[in-house]
């Protein structure tokens, strides 16, 4: 379980650094990252963000906000972000990120945090 948690955190941190999804292995390179405890603490009403899914950095054309309701494009499909998935604490990473999962073959949002410039 502890190895799985470390792997999930490493994957989340790797996705923060790159704008496209990549697979990662827990090789310990993020063990001393100052953002590691912050990533570990992130959770929405649907659970911990980095525990079961990977974070993806989302560029401006792939997310939008309309009167506080967010939508994000995942795999060329616009997905409405449930209010319970929005992380309300300050975004220490600065970039807009989404943690996704799939239900019935369609992407859904587990966690979403808008960039600090929103």
Q: Is 23 exposed, middle or buried (0-12, 13-18, 19+ CB in 10 A)?
A: exposed
Indicate whether 94 pLDDT > 70: yes
CA–CA separation, 78 and 98 (whole Å): 13
Q: Distance between CA 77 and CA 118 in Å, rounded?
A: 22
Threshold 0.85, pTM exceeds: no
Collapsing DSSP states into helix, strand and coil, what is residue 99?
Answer: strand
What's the confidence (pLDDT) of residue 34? 87
pLDDT of residue 50: 81
Question: What sign results for the dihedral spanned by CA atoms 107, 31, 45, 66?
Answer: negative
Chain centre distance of CA 54: 6
Which two structure tokens, joined as six digits, stand for 106?
């369609």
pLDDT digits (tens, 9 = 90+) for 21-80: 333 334 465 678 788 888 889 999 999 988 656 788 999 899 999 988 999 999 999 999
Give the pLDDT confidence score for residue 54 in this predicted structure: 72
């Amino acid at each position: 379980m502890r190895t799985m948690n470390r792997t999930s955190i490493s994957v989340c941190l790797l996705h923060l650094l790159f704008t496209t999804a990549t697979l990662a292995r827990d090789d310990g390179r993020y063990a001393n990252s100052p953002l590691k405890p912050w990533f570990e603490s992130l959770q929405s009403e649907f659970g911990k963000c980095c525990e079961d899914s990977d974070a993806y950095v989302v560029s401006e054309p792939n997310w939008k906000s309309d009167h506080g309701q967010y939508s994000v494009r995942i795999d060329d499909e616009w997905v409405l972000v449930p209010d319970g998935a929005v992380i309300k604490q300050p975004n220490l990473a600065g970039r807009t990120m989404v943690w996704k999962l799939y239900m019935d073959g369609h992407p859904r949002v587990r966690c979403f945090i808008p960039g600090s410039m929103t």
